[in-house]
A and B are shown apart, each in its own frame.
Chain A
């Protein structure tokens, strides 16, 4: 299986702190995506990073991809209470174009 596995499963921090979540996967991929899910809501796409990219930014989000270690990280800087959600990484089955395989997610809690 090339399912991504997020680490940690749960993370609790204070507002203003940075939050780092990691994702490991098993087979070669050409892209990796991160999604956010607020409680009781659908998933929202955050970032797609391709295998030829090492790092990508979007606002307070920074995603890295290390294809040699088959891992990715999502950093949220200066966290806010509104960042409280579950965060999932997703990789394509077959490495490139297959349907998305989601990890089990990291549940982030940001306390005001």
Chain B
């Protein structure tokens, strides 16, 4: 069984649209994350949630809104998509809320292309 899953795997959309990416983990972890990986493979954290509560918001535009209905799910909704939003988005989870002290488990990624 996949530990951290994301849907969809690929997302192609027009500028200005609103889209969502879903993430689920079946590891029983308390903490979940969203990362953005740009075309140069640079991976940067966007958000982290612990038990459905926001812990980290790394100066991400407010067009990005994470939602955690329960601790096994962390979805990412993006409004008014821009060309610069094109990237691969990774969901991850860890047991420890102090993410830097613990192994993180990553999903397979969602490649978002904004035309």
Contact = CB atoms under 8 A, between A and B. Distances in A.
Interface in A66-112: 86, 88, 90-94, 96-102, 104-105, 107
A108 to B, nearest CB: 13
Contact of B100 (A40, A93, A107): A93
Interface residues of A, number: 29
A104 B109 contact: no
Interface in B15-40: 33, 40
A65 to B, nearest CB: 15
A48 interface: yes
Contacts of A104: 40-42
A22 interface: no
B48 to A, nearest CB: 6
A43 B106 contact: yes
Nearest to A94: B100
A98 B99 contact: yes
Contacts of B13: none
A99 B106 contact: no
Contact of B4 (A37, A42, A101): A42
B103 A31 contact: no
Given A33-B103, A92-B99, A98-B98, A41 B109 contact: yes
A90 B45 CA distance: 12
Given A42-B4, A42-B109, A86-B41, A97 B101 contact: yes
A45 interface: yes
Contacts of B100: 31, 90-94, 96-101
A99 B107 contact: no
A38 B104 CA distance: 16
Given A97-B98, A100-B45, A43 B33 contact: no
A86 B40 CA distance: 12
A41 B84 CA distance: 21
* Complex A-B, nearest 3 residue pairs according to Cβ-Cβ distance, in ascending order: A92-B100, A97-B98, A42-B106
Interface of A: 30-31, 33, 35, 37, 40-45, 48, 86, 88, 90-94, 96-102, 104-105, 107
